[in-house]
A and B are shown apart, each in its own frame.
Chain A
Amino acid sequence: MLSGKWHDRLASLNLGLWLMAGVMVLLAVGSFVGGGEGSSINDLPLLVWLKETPITAAWWLWLTIALLALLALNTILCSIDSLRRKYQKGNLLLLIAPQIMHLGFLFIALAHLFSAWGGFKQSMVVREGSVIGFPEGAQVQVVRLQAVFSPKGFPTDYSGELREVTAVGEVQTISPNHPFFLHGFGIYLKEVQLYPEPAALIEIHWEPGAPWALAGALLFTVGNVVLLAVRRGK
């Protein structure tokens, strides 16, 4: 258990404010030195990227993670304190709503941790007839690729038809914003070209944090809506 002095420090509003400010400054630094969209940071699970990247390039992210861990602890302690102090003293909804938002924030932080630990991404070029292999022996075949271009040559629509080889599966159509999920893996169609032969850029994603992020987002939104409702007119 935390001693009283440490507990008071870690559960203080001031610490929370400073930690938020610190994370903001570090993220701002990261936006300039982090390498942008083309950086390999988006191609690897975050913890793998951190392991492979020299500390001189990733220091801002290490510090951000450290401050976020402290902020998560601060959030938990502040929420418990707030519930303890104000329970039975006022409007229960007004008391609970911010804590539900805090819980949502914690779920989202946890989601990032899970994705950083076990996320997976792979890009590949496929043609009609190509077979994509998955762990545990599952296989998916690319049956057909289609694309529609505007008169100026911009792609206005494209799609692909996939069929699971190892099961009696129906043909599934994938297109932008409509991936195909197989045993937790998402198959995403990124680009299609028709000449010299139909070919597509496909990405396979495994995002273990996604359900946690969604749960966190829902909790945060519910808490937020309740807070707005109980604060209406005040």
Chain B
Amino acid sequence: MKAMLWVAGGMYLVSSGKRVVFVAALIVESVYLALRGTELGRLPLIGPHDTLVFFSTSIGLLALPFIYSRPRKGTDLSWGIGIGAGLFALLALLFPSFAMPLPPILKTLWFELHVALAFFAYALFAIGAILGGLFLINNERSLLDLQYRAALVGYSFFSASMVTGGIWGYYAWGTYWLWTPKELWTSILWLFYSLYLHLRLKGPSWERLVAWGGIVGFALTLFTYLGVSMLMKSSHSF
């Protein structure tokens, strides 16, 4: 089954602007994710392997409106996003795919919503970073507008993820907030994108800084997702 992930990752990497290859990679990866979910009997959202695949698929899926909103000649975007989605798909292969029973505390819709919404947000932040990089290279204003859309929708998903996480926490642990590294970095990431959205109000002279903001935001996203989970002790650790 993991061969499908190799294929999807490879196709993303070589899609280099061919949107049809990108879409084919997304379909293969989605089938892998669906099979994995069927095997587990739930959404595969636990552990580095499953979450990286979910993240990569989210990037591919949520990139579609952005890729297809660009003129056909603008293949740089699907190339950049293809590399991003491909690398995360291949990174997932470095980690074993467990099939352990779900701890009782995770058997709730609030958990699934909390995690899935967070990964949709992370995916949009990744897309925003690529758009920011392309803006800094091409100086094309439409790219910055697309970055803003990605960040705003990503921020909305992320806020909803925090709300559902708070509700889950209240029913699971008796509190909507715990002082743990993951919660702190989640708040940092949320504040960062709040800052990013407000920074845009400063006007056109701040455009390059806004573009950089999208890139730095994704670096923070990666630390919140992978860095905190792997390096710091938390209930969200892998």
Contact = CB atoms under 8 A, between A and B. Distances in A.
Interface of A: 13, 16-17, 20-21, 23-24, 27-28, 30-32, 34, 36-39, 41-42, 111-112, 115, 119, 121, 150, 154-158, 175-179, 186, 188, 203-205, 207, 209-210, 213-214, 217, 220-221, 224-225, 227-228, 231
Chain B interface, DSSP helix/strand/loop, else mixed: helix
Given A36-B232, A210-B176, A224-B159, A175 B104 contact: yes
Nearest to B170: A210
Contacts, number: 127
B222 interface: no
Given A31-B181, A37-B180, A176 B105 contact: yes
B166 A213 contact: yes
Contact of A157 (B104, B152, B232): B104
B40 interface: no
A65 to B, nearest CB: 13
Given A177-B172, A213-B176, A231-B152, A38 B105 contact: no
Given A36-B233, A176-B107, 11 more contacts: A20-B191, A20-B195, A24-B188, A24-B191, A28-B184, A28-B185, A115-B177, A150-B101, A175-B104, A177-B107, A205-B175
A178 B105 CA distance: 10
Contacts of A21: 195
Nearest to B105: A176
A31 B185 contact: yes
A217 B114 CA distance: 14
Contacts of A175: 104
